[in-house]
Homo-oligomer: A and B are copies of this chain.
Amino acid sequence: MKNILIIGCGLLGSSLLRRIHKKKLAKKIFVYEKSISNIAKIKKLKLPGVIVKTLKDGIINSDLIIFCTPMSEYKRLIIKIDKFIKPNTLITDVGSSKIETTKIIKKFLKKDLNWIQSHPIAGSEVSGPEHGKENIFVDKWCVLIKDQSTKKNHLNILRKFWKKIGSKVVVMTPEKHDKIFSITSHLPHLIAYNLVKSAQDFEKKQNFGLIKYSAGGLRDFSRIAASNEIMWRDIFFNNQKNISKAIDLFIKNLNAFKKDINAKNDKSILKKLVQTKKVRSKIIKLKQDIDKPDFGRN
């Protein structure tokens, strides 16, 4: 890789910037960032790389372009870059849902064949370049998206790139990706938001000051519910079909559980409570557990 352009220098963009610099994975790193406040932070933090003034400056001088913006920015940016991007430039992104972005890329990027989507399973409930970390991707999964139009050589280049970053790489279709993450990430975040909202609704009626007693569970959900709202709106809208199905499955289970509680169905409740423990053991066995939850932004 000669030159790399990072578009959007928030939590993930700045983490990539730090890592690419540290591992010397590029001759030059360019950064395109539209937020004036983020640019000021990047300068204050003395992050590596060159901040380009126009998107064109970054695009025409780069061999790899990485989109690290909210997904709702893709269309606007693609229409812009499509005018001057060189045919051999490889593009990727770090978005958390893939079916909708596949459609946007295919529709608006004429040279769409060079875009292979990535999804590094890493993140935090905090945003901005000041929270980025050089090692955020290390030993984490990075999903690469493959469909009929994916070129093998491009996939290999990108696979090598993420391995050099330190990630474990897995390849799947956009459909499989969006199904898996609707359950492992999108539903958990949606639930966290709604649990916190339910606590707020309850408090409005009762005024018990219940936040004071949040240590018993609510507190730890509130951490997830504090994640970036633009990023999450984009995910919920983009993966709407799978997420809707996941909500239905979850509500079905909730209602059955409620029925068991109301009927004091000892056997059924104990079976459920014991069964779910097994997932925990599996997660620990697969070395997916960590000391301090980081609630990926995935």
Interface residues of A, dominant DSSP = helix
B253 pairs with A251, CB closer than 8 A: no
Question: Is the beta-carbon distance between A193 and B257 smaller than 8 angstroms?
Answer: yes
Within 8 A of B (CB), among A115-165: 121-123, 125, 140-141, 143
Tally A residues with Cβ within 8 Å of B. 99
**In the complex, what residues of B have CB within 8 A of residue A125's CB?**
280
Give the residues in chain B near A176, CB-CB below 8 Å: 208
- Contact of B211 with A183 in the complex, beta carbons under 8 Å: no
A283 and B214 contact, CB distance less than 8 A: yes
Query: Is A225 touching B293 in the complex (CB atoms < 8 A)?
Result: no
Residue among A123, A199, A298 with the highest chain B CB neighbour number at 10 A: A199
User: Could you list 22 A-B pairs, sorted by A, with CB under 8 Å?
Assistant: A141-B215, A183-B198, A183-B210, A184-B216, A185-B217, A187-B195, A188-B218, A195-B250, A200-B275, A200-B279, A201-B249, A211-B286, A211-B288, A219-B289, A225-B277, A233-B266, A233-B273, A237-B269, A244-B262, A247-B257, A251-B254, A292-B293
